């Protein structure tokens, strides 16, 4: 496969365009000037700036072709920079400049050149020959949106923003209207960004080659001192971010194109919501509460106070009177040290983290079915799947970059099935939306299995070769009363049958699931039934299939890997096993390890109420705000002798602490986060720690030393040292090194030679040897059984795009301007039946208490179902959530709360 550039022969790659070919050969991404082209977008070929001359034979008759969308072919002769071409490029750009502000042709002194200005310079336009059009002068800038600004007088009609909005984000907010000189970009029905349904992802700003679209931070034209690549602190997608710094301050964030995870895209939290980092509310000094008031102390005073108290409590009541909550927002190295402090320096397995209130059932359920509790495949597989089964997850809000990819796939026509009690935007787009009653997951999955078996769409070869207990499962399913399940779920048999057939018939089907599965009384069981579905159809161990939990926090996968749970240590080894205790004791250089399983978060809170637990050490969790049944949590906290909270901010939880330790944020430290695809990625320090804060890792090492354990890597915390220790302790991370992680990280298991693992259980080769089917019946939640009569509505709680969990960080950014409150979505008929108007404020009551919240009429919820979010302390929704949890893991049932509501 040979083609020629200026008569010199080169090999070309199958499927390459002429532009890609020239860029590769010349090893220069600017080898050819471009204007409407963006690597992240489909090639468009409209501006013709990238034109080259092309001939079929050497020095033969040439044609002018746009190189960006012309595929290269055998024996083609390309002349990229002939005089004619150079003249053509100049002409095109000069014509564009006829309706472009003359003072924007060259960059101003205090700004970097925009991509368009770079193109102008590359083509070499000393002055504009044609008189300027005046159209641009009449266009008013739009500066209402807190992040995104437009000044369309600088628009060159390249369409990149319109295409980015559609092709990258899957929104269709931006469009083009008018003709000739009147052609212009419009937002929604020709309004402002604010009034349109824009999701503020900023993809349009990043691709716009001029300053027609910019962001508040002028990221595109920043003259940064340095740009540091790091991993986002918000959700489990793990976007890579390029953070620009001037004078030690963060000034803007862009999404690097070279990022495998996010491919040059990110959401409004990743790109814009960084202002929390130097917000005046940041905790900057350690504080001890004296006579009910916090007083600033030195680090030494704080450490001495904590160490003395912890030793006292341990002496008086034993190590099991102490517990720790670790942070999925902190790095792997810090989580590793935290669990080590609790286990080794204190001597108890009372260590847990936010997975308990989140995806613990996923880890448990998938371990029962397959042997490993993590995602089987990678997000990249979306490019190769034929069907997407989205069960109890709303990635458009929770995992926006993955959500955008799923939305693209839906729009391109992949078979799409959504099971969700809410009509989410993906549910609306899907081929099949099974809008079940909240809490009936086991029933609907049994229905789907019933029809797959009935239609004989099972993969007998896969079942026979790689799994066990299918016969029991089949018998169980055969005996189900399908009419009863129809009534329970509220989903018709016909719809369930169609969806089941669509899933089972797909050559490759990917399952994605979220909290709609796990935060339920039957959470773990649902996970095992989702595993059944994949196994019975052979959708495991190939590209484009699998069970893919959309893990929540930036590092919740990592925290669990590091041993943040009371029954398994670093690397998921069973701490009840004496051989494993011996293994850890040797690795940690101590005589012995604690011998029995520790308590889970809800058990620790109960133990506090019963007086058995006396101290809690909390690193980066806002337990009071985010755990269910707030008054219960408060009661537990009030009973403790010592509460230490390591935080960025004063939260509802830190308010209750005896000692508050100011931690550095992810911008201020090195380390790694592990995303939902088991991908360990680097977190690189961008700026120095704010105020007198310290990285969590340093705080833990300091305290361990005060408690009598010397971290073998020394008293100065360095994430790279801890990584070496982690690689030595965790068997499936043997080949992990900081250097090997490179720019895009590695997916565990990482073999000794550094090979990583994008896919698990290949060809039915299950981690636990053989895949196991489980059978379960639907069981009504005790919440409904006990309180359903008195409180007839089911409240389900989830999240909005703009805010992140307790909102501690996002509420301290302009995201709060975009969305400033939690609202209750109510079906209009339910509200009207109580005589309550849209936007009125109501009281919502459960068995635990009541909260006050404005309502919004919404047909996205069925009658009898209410939905809201838990981001704003003004509402404090967890006051009314309950104590029912998943039977196996105790994960709270945030998704089924029996309530009623009334006019205030
Ligand atoms: N913007 C934003 N992103 C976030 C977060 C955030 O707070 N804000 N939090 C992060 C965290 S910690 C997590 S864990 C993830 C969570 O991300 P998701 O798992 O997507 O979480 P939710 O939106 O809480 O719930 C998912 C869906 O489950 C549905 N659901 C509720 N009950 C049921 C049911 O009985 N059956 C079924 N099938 N579905 C049900 C809900 O209607 C909702 O659409 O998001 C992460 N990303
Ligand atoms: N009603 C209802 N409640 C829910 C849920 C729901 O769906 N409905 N979802 C649940 C789920 S899935 C989850 S995961 C939990 C999340 O609950 P939390 O883990 O409590 O939520 P976050 O807001 O992420 O809180 C983490 C805290 O860590 C701090 N932080 C950030 N970075 C660092 C750092 O580097 N070091 C330290 N020390 N601190 C840091 C932040 O300031 C923040 O206060 O909420 C649960 N609560
Ligand atoms: Mo979560």
CB-based neighbours (< 5 A) of ligand 3, an ion: 358, 552
Which ligand 1 atom sits closest to the C-alpha of 798?
24
Phi and psi at 374, nearest 5°, equal -125, 170
Verify whether ligand 1 is closer than 6 Å to residue 397 (CB atom).
yes
What is d(CA 249, CA 834) in angstroms, rounded to the nearest whole number? 52
Look up residue 320 and give its DSSP letter.
G
User: Region 350-374: what's the mean pLDDT?
Assistant: 95
**Do residues 741 and 681 lie in contact, with contact meaning Cβ atoms separated by under 8 Å?**
yes
Nearest to 37, CA basis, from 22, 47, 27, 23? 47
> What integer pLDDT is reported at residue 249 of this predicted model?
96
Strands 546-549 and 509-513: parallel
What is d(CA 89, CA 119) in angstroms, rounded to the nearest whole number? 10
- Dump the DSSP string for 663-689: BP-GGG--EEEE-TTSEEEEE---SPP
Structure tokens at 37: 């082209």
**Do residues 334 and 702 lie in contact, with contact meaning Cβ atoms separated by under 8 Å?**
no
Per CATH, the architecture of 2-81 is what?
Answer: Roll (3.10)
pLDDT in tens, 437-449: 999 999 999 999 9
- Residue whose pair of structure tokens reads 């993809």 in the numeric block: 203
The pLDDT confidence band at residue 45, using thresholds 50, 70 and 90, is confident
Ligand 2, atom 11: nearest CA belongs to which residue?
358
pLDDT in tens, 164-174: 999 999 999 99
Verify whether ligand 1 is closer than 6 Å to residue 797 (CB atom).
no
β-partners of residue 627 are none
**Do residues 854 and 841 lie in contact, with contact meaning Cβ atoms separated by under 8 Å?**
yes
pLDDT in tens, 549-576: 999 999 999 999 999 999 999 999 999 9
pLDDT of residue 731 exceeding 90? yes
> What integer pLDDT is reported at residue 136 of this predicted model?
63
Verify whether ligand 1 is closer than 6 Å to residue 421 (CB atom).
yes
Q: Residue 618 Cα, ligand 2 centroid: separation in angstroms?
A: 12
pLDDT above 70 covers what percent of the chain?
A: 99
Which ligand 1 atom sits closest to the C-alpha of 434?
38
Q: Residue 882 Cα, ligand 3 centroid: separation in angstroms?
A: 17
Verify whether ligand 2 is closer than 6 Å to residue 152 (CB atom).
no
What is d(CA 418, CA 464) in angstroms, rounded to the nearest whole number? 29
Which ligand 2 atom sits closest to the C-alpha of 807?
23
What ligand has the least distance to the C-alpha of 331?
Answer: 2
Q: Residue 655 Cα, ligand 2 centroid: separation in angstroms?
A: 16
What is d(CA 307, CA 716) in angstroms, rounded to the nearest whole number? 19
The pLDDT confidence band at residue 59, using thresholds 50, 70 and 90, is confident
CA atoms within 13 A on the CB side of 824: 34
What is d(CA 208, CA 219) in angstroms, rounded to the nearest whole number? 12
Which residues in 13-116 belong to E strands, given as ranges? 51-55, 62-66, 77-79
- Number of C-beta neighbours around residue 103 at 10 A: 7
The pLDDT confidence band at residue 129, using thresholds 50, 70 and 90, is confident
125-134: long-range contacts (C-beta < 8 A, 24 or more apart)? Answer: 125/90, 125/93, 125/94, 125/97, 128/94, 128/97, 128/98, 128/102, 129/94, 130/94, 130/95, 130/97, 130/98, 131/98, 132/97, 132/98, 132/99, 132/100, 132/102, 133/98, 133/99, 133/181
pLDDT in tens, 473-532: 999 999 999 999 999 999 999 999 999 999 999 999 999 999 999 999 999 999 999 999
What ligand has the least distance to the C-alpha of 329?
Answer: 2
Structure tokens at 185: 């970009």
CATH class of residue range 782-903: mainly beta
Ligand 1, atom 11: nearest CA belongs to which residue?
552
The pLDDT confidence band at residue 99, using thresholds 50, 70 and 90, is confident
pLDDT above 90 covers what percent of the chain?
A: 91
What is d(CA 131, CA 98) in angstroms, rounded to the nearest whole number? 6
pLDDT of residue 133 exceeding 70? no
Nearest to 438, CA basis, from 503, 488, 512, 375? 488
pLDDT of residue 135 exceeding 70? no
What stretch of H or E contains 467? Answer: strand 467-468
pLDDT in tens, 789-804: 999 999 999 999 999 9
Ligand 1, atom 1: nearest CA belongs to which residue?
801
**Do residues 904 and 876 lie in contact, with contact meaning Cβ atoms separated by under 8 Å?**
no
pLDDT of residue 130 exceeding 90? no
CATH class of residue range 287-358+555-762: alpha beta
583: exposed, middle or buried (Cβ count in 10 Å: 0-12, 13-18, 19+): middle
| Full-model pTM | 0.96
Beta carbons within 8 Å of 787's beta carbon, 6+ residues apart = 846, 847, 882, 898
Ligand 1, atom 33: nearest CA belongs to which residue?
516
Verify whether ligand 2 is closer than 6 Å to residue 237 (CB atom).
no
Ligand 2, atom 28: nearest CA belongs to which residue?
620
Nearest to 322, CA basis, from 599, 699, 632? 599
Verify whether ligand 2 is closer than 6 Å to residue 663 (CB atom).
yes
Verify whether ligand 1 is closer than 6 Å to residue 391 (CB atom).
yes
**pLDDT-wise least confident of 177-186, 598-607, 803-812:** 177-186
What is d(CA 272, CA 218) in angstroms, rounded to the nearest whole number? 11
pLDDT of residue 223 exceeding 80? yes
CA atoms within 13 A on the CB side of 789: 2
What is d(CA 102, CA 58) in angstroms, rounded to the nearest whole number? 42
Which ligand 2 atom sits closest to the C-alpha of 666?
35
Please state the domain extents for the chain: 2-81, 130-278, 287-358+555-762, 360-549, 782-903
Ligand 1, atom 13: nearest CA belongs to which residue?
552
Q: Residue 749 Cα, ligand 2 centroid: separation in angstroms?
A: 27
CATH number of 360-549: 3.40.228.10
User: Region 703-731: what's the mean pLDDT?
Assistant: 96
**Pocket of ligand 2, candidates 327, 362, 877, 899: which has the most ligand atoms within 8 Å of its Cβ, to mutate?**
327
Q: Are 2-81 and 130-278 in the same CATH fold? A: no
User: Region 90-100: what's the mean pLDDT?
Assistant: 90
CATH number of 130-278: 3.30.70.20
> What integer pLDDT is reported at residue 17 of this predicted model?
96
**pLDDT-wise least confident of 150-159, 205-214, 494-503:** 150-159
């Amino acid at each position: 496969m040979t083609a020629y550039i200026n008569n010199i022969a080169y090999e070309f790659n199958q499927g390459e365009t002429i532009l890609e070919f020239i860029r590769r050969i010349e090893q220069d991404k600017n080898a050819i000037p471009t204007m409407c082209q963006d690597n992240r977008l489909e090639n468009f070929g409209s501006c013709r700036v990238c034109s080259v001359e092309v001939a079929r034979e050497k020095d033969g008759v040439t044609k002018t072709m746009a190189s960006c969308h012309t595929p290269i072919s055998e024996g083609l002769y390309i002349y990229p920079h002939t005089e004619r071409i150079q003249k053509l490029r100049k002409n095109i750009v000069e014509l564009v400049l006829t309706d472009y502000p003359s003072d924007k042709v060259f960059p101003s002194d205090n700004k970097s050149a925009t991509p368009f200005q770079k193109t102008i310079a590359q083509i070499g336009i000393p002055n504009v020959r044609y008189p300027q059009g005046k159209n641009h002068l009449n266009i008013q800038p739009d500066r209402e949106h807190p992040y995104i600004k437009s000044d369309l007088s600088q628009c060159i009609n390249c369409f990149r923003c319109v295409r980015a909005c559609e092709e990258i984000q899957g929104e269709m907010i931006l469009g083009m209207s008018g003709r000739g000189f009147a052609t212009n970009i419009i937002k929604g029905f020709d309004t402002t960004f604010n009034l349109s349904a824009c999701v503020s992802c900023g993809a349009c700003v990043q691709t716009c080659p001029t300053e027609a679209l910019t962001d508040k931070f002028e990221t595109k034209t920043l003259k940064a001192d340095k740009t540091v690549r790091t991993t986002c602190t918000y959700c489990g997608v793990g976007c890579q971010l390029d953070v620009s710094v001037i004078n030690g301050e963060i000034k803007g964030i862009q999404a690097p194109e070279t990022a495998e995870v996010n491919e040059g895209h990110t959401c409004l939290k990743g790109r814009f919501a960084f202002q929390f980092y130097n917000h005046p509310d940041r905790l900057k000094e350690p504080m001890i509460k004296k006579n009910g008031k916090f007083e600033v102390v030195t680090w030494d005073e704080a450490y001495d106070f904590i160490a003395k108290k912890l030793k006292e409590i341990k002496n008086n009541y034993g190590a099991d009177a102490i517990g720790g909550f670790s942070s999925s927002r902190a790095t792997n190295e810090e989580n590793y040290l935290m669990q080590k402090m609790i286990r080794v320096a204190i001597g108890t397995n009372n260590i847990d983290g936010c997975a308990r209130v989140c995806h613990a059932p996923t880890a448990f359920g998938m371990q029962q079915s397959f042997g490993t509790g993590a995602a089987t495949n990678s997000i990249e597989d979306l490019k190769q799947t034929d069907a997407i089964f989205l069960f109890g997850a709303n990635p458009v809000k929770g995992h926006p970059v993955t959500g955008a990819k799923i939305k693209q796939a839906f729009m391109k026509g992949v078979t799409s099935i959504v099971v969700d009690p809410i009509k989410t935007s993906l549910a609306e787009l899907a081929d099949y939306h099974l809008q079940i009653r909240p809490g009936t997951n086991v029933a609907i999955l049994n229905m789907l299995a019933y029809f797959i078996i009935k239609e004989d769409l099972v993969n007998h070869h896969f079942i026979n070769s790689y799994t066990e207990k299918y016969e029991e499962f089949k018998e169980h399913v055969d005996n189900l009363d399908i009419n009863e399940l129809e009534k329970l779920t509220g989903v018709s048999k016909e719809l369930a049958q169609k969806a089941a057939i669509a899933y089972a018939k797909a050559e490759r089907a990917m399952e994605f699931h979220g909290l709609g599965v796990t935060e339920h009384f039957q959470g773990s069981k649902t996970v095992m039934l989702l595993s059944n579905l994949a196994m019975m159809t052979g959708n495991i161990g190939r590209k484009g299939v699998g069970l893919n939990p959309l893990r929540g926090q930036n590092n919740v996968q990592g925290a669990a890997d590091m041993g943040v749970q009371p029954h398994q240590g670093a690397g998921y080894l069973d701490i009840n096993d004496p051989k494993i205790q011996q293994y850890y004791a040797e690795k940690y250089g101590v005589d012995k390890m604690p011998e029995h399983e520790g308590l889970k978060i809800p058990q620790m809170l109960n133990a506090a109420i019963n007086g058995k637990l006396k101290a809690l050490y909390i690193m980066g969790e806002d337990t009071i705000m985010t755990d269910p049944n707030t008054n219960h949590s408060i009661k537990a906290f009030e009973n403790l002798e010592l509460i230490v909270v390591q935080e960025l901010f004063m939260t509802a939880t830190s308010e209750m602490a005896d000692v508050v330790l100011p931690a550095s944020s992810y911008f201020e430290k090195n380390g790694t986060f592990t995303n939902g695809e088991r991908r360990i990625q680097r977190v690189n320090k961008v700026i120095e720690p704010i105020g007198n804060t310290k990285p969590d890792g340093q705080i833990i090492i300091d305290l361990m030393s005060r408690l009598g354990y010397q971290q073998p890597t020394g008293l100065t915390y360095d994430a790279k040292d801890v990584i070496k220790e982690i690689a030595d302790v965790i068997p499936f991370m043997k080949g992990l090194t900081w250097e090997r992680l490179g720019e895009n990280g590695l997916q565990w298991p990482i073999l000794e030679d550094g090979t990583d693992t994008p896919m698990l259980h290949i060809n039915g080769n299950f981690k636990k040897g053989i895949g196991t089917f489980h059978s379960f019946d639907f069981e009504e939640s005790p919440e409904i059984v006990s309180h359903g009569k008195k409180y007839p509505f089911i409240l389900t709680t989830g999240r909005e795009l703009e805010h992140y969990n307790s909102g501690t960080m996002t509420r301290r950014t302009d995201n709060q301007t975009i969305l400033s409150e939690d609202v209750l979505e109510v079906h209009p008929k339910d509200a009207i039946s109580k005589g309550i108007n849209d936007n009125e404020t109501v009281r919502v009551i459960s068995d635990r208490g009541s909260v006050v919240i404005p309502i919004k009429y919404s047909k996205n919820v069925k009658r009898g179902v209410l939905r809201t979010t838990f981001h704003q302390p003004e509402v404090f929704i967890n006051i009314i959530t309950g104590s029912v949890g998943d039977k196996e893991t105790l994960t709270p049932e945030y998704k089924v709360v029996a309530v009623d509501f009334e006019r205030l």
